[in-house]
C-alpha cells in the first residue's frame, strides 16, 4: 500500500498562474510588473452591474435553484432570441463560471478513460478539466505559420477511436485569437454528426471583438442535417462584462438528456453564486450598446500590440481575429525559462517615469498536449490599455535581446 503522502493524483499546473511567486518577488524588489499573462481585463466592471448588487434588497443571501435564477434564465433566453438565436429557457443552465460548465459537459458526455478531440494550442485549463473528469485529450495540432488554421477533417478522422465522445474547442480561440469560419464549423459539425459525437463550443469570448464576423454554434443555419442534439455551447460573463470574479457561466444545449445529467451535477454542488447571477441579469439590460464599445476598445489594444510586435523581425505572431490573445513565436528553446528570466533577472527602465519595469507572460507549453510543442512560444493577453500594451511589447523586445545575449 502506498504511504498516505503518495496517494495523491498529480494535477497539471496552470501555465497562466504558475509563475505567480516570481511576480510577487519582482514587485517586492520595487519592479513594476505588467500582467499580460492572464485574461484579467483592466476595464471596470460596468457600474450598473455593481449597482444591482448594492441595491439588492435580499436580507438573506439564499440558495438559488440549481439550474440558476429563473429571472436570469428568462432574460438570457430573450437576449438570444432578440439576436435571432433559437434558445429557450429549458436550454440554459447557469454554472459557476465557464470552467464548471466545461467540467460538467465533459463529465456528462464521457466516461473515465474516454477521448475528447481538441485542437491545440488550447486553453491550458482544458488539461486540468480533462484530468478532473478522467478523460483523455487527443490533440489536433495547428500552427502559427498559417494562423492556427484547422487542418482538414481527415486529421480528425485519423485520431478518432471507439472511445471518442466529443470535439471541444474555443471560438474565438483562447489562446490563438483565431476565429472559426462557417465552412470550418460546418465541417466539424458534419464530422460529429456522422460519428455520433458531441461538439462542445466554448464561446466565452464571443462578442468581444469583430462581433459581425464570429459565428456562434447556436446559430449555424442552412445545414442539411440536424446538429442540435449534438451541440453544447459554453458561455460566461467573465470577459464579456469584465466580471471574472463573479463566477457565472452557462451551458446551453437542446439535448434534453444531456441537460438532465448536467442538472444532477448542479444539484450536487447546490447553486451558482447569487450575487453573480444578479450582476449577469443586470448586464443584459445594456449589453448591446456596451459590447459595441467594448469590441472597439479591445480592437485598439490588439492592433497596438501587433503594431509593436511587427517591429521585431526575430519573432512571429498571429494577429488576433477575436478574443484578446496573441500567440508569439520567439527564437528561444524554453519559454518557461524565458518567462522566469523576465521576472527574476531582468527589468527595463521606463524612459518617461524612470521606473523599473518588466512583464509577466504565459509560456505556451501548457497550451499544448503534444510533448515539447509550445516551448518557443508565449501567449500575450491584451488586457491593458493600448499604450500599456505597447510598453509591454517594448519590454518584451528588450528582454529578449538581453536573454539571447546571455545564451
pLDDT (mean) for 193-213 = 88
Which residues, at least 6 apart from 238, have a Cβ–Cβ distance to it below 8 Å? 39, 97, 98, 204, 244, 246, 247, 248, 249
Does the pLDDT at position 8 exceed 60?
no
Fold of 4-44+289-405: 3.90.1150
| pLDDT given at position 222 | 87
Confidence of residue 372 (pLDDT cuts 50, 70, 90): confident
Domain boundaries, the chain: 4-44+289-405, 47-286
C-alpha to C-alpha distance for 296 and 202, rounded to whole angstroms: 22
Q: What is the DSSP string of 27-78?
A: HHTT-EEEE-SS----SPPPHHHHHHHHT---SS-PPPPTT--HHHHHHHHH
**pLDDT score, position 128:** 94
CB atoms within 10 A of CB 107: 19
Q: What percent of the chain shows pLDDT beyond 70?
A: 95
Q: Tell me which CATH code domain 47-286 carries.
A: 3.40.640.10
Please give the model's pTM, rounded to 2 decimal places.
Answer: 0.93
**Do the domains at 4-44+289-405 and 47-286 have one common CATH topology?**
no
Distance CA 157, CA 149 (A): 17
Q: Which of 17-26, 135-144, 273-282, 339-348 has the lowest mean pLDDT?
A: 17-26
Amino acid at each position: 500500500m502506498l504511504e498516505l503522502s503518495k496517494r495523491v493524483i498529480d494535477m497539471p499546473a496552470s501555465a497562466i498562474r504558475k509563475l505567480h511567486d516570481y511576480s510577487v518577488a519582482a514587485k517586492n524588489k520595487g519592479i513594476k510588473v505588467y500582467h499580460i499573462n492572464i485574461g484579467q481585463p483592466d476595464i471596470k466592471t460596468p457600474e450598473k452591474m455593481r449597482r444591482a448588487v448594492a441595491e439588492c434588497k435580499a436580507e438573506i443571501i439564499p440558495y438559488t435553484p440549481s439550474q440558476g435564477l429563473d429571472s436570469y434564465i428568462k432574460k438570457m433566453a430573450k437576449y438570444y432570441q432578440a439576436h435571432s438565436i433559437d434558445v429557450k429557457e429549458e436550454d440554459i443552465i447557469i454554472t459557476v463560471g465557464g470552467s464548471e460548465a466545461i467540467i460538467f459537459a465533459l463529465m456528462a458526455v464521457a466516461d473515465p478513460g474516454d477521448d475528447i478531440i481538441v485542437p491545440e494550442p488550447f486553453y491550458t485549463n482544458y488539461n486540468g478539466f480533462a484530468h478532473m473528469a478522467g478523460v483523455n485529450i487527443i490533440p489536433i495540432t495547428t500552427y502559427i505559420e498559417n494562423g492556427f488554421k484547422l487542418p482538414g477533417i481527415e486529421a480528425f478522422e485519423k485520431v478518432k477511436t471507439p472511445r471518442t465522445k466529443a470535439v471541444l474547442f474555443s471560438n474565438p480561440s483562447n489562446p490563438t485569437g483565431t476565429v472559426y469560419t462557417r465552412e470550418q464549423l460546418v465541417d466539424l459539425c458534419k464530422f460529429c454528426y456522422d460519428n455520433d459525437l458531441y461538439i462542445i463550443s466554448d464561446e466565452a469570448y464571443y462578442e468581444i471583438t469583430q462581433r459581425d464576423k464570429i459565428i456562434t454554434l447556436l446559430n449555424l443555419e442552412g445545414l442539411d442535417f440536424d446538429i442540435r442534439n449534438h451541440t453544447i455551447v459554453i458561455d460566461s460573463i467573465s470577459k464579456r462584462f469584465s466580471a471574472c470574479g463573479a463566477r457565472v457561466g452557462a451551458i446551453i444545449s437542446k439535448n434534453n438528456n444531456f441537460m438532465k445529467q448536467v442538472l444532477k451535477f448542479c444539484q450536487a454542488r447546490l447553486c451558482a453564486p447569487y450575487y453573480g447571477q444578479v450582476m449577469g441579469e443586470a448586464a443584459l439590460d445594456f449589453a448591446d450598446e456596451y459590447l459595441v464599445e467594448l469590441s472597439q476598445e479591445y480592437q485598439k489594444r490588439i492592433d497596438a500590440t501587433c503594431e509593436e510586435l511587427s517591429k521585431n523581425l526575430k519573432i512571429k505572431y498571429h494577429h488576433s481575429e477575436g478574443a484578446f490573445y496573441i500567440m508569439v513565436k520567439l527564437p528561444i528553446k524554453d519559454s518557461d525559462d524565458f518567462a522566469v528570466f523576465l521576472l527574476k533577472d531582468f527589468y527595463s527602465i521606463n524612459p518617461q517615469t524612470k521606473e523599473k519595469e518588466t512583464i509577466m507572460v504565459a509560456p505556451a507549453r501548457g497550451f499544448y498536449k503534444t510533448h515539447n510543442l509550445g516551448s518557443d512560444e508565449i501567449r500575450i493577453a491584451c488586457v491593458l490599455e493600448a499604450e500599456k500594451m505597447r510598453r509591454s511589447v517594448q519590454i518584451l523586445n528588450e528582454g529578449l535581446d538581453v536573454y539571447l545575449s546571455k545564451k
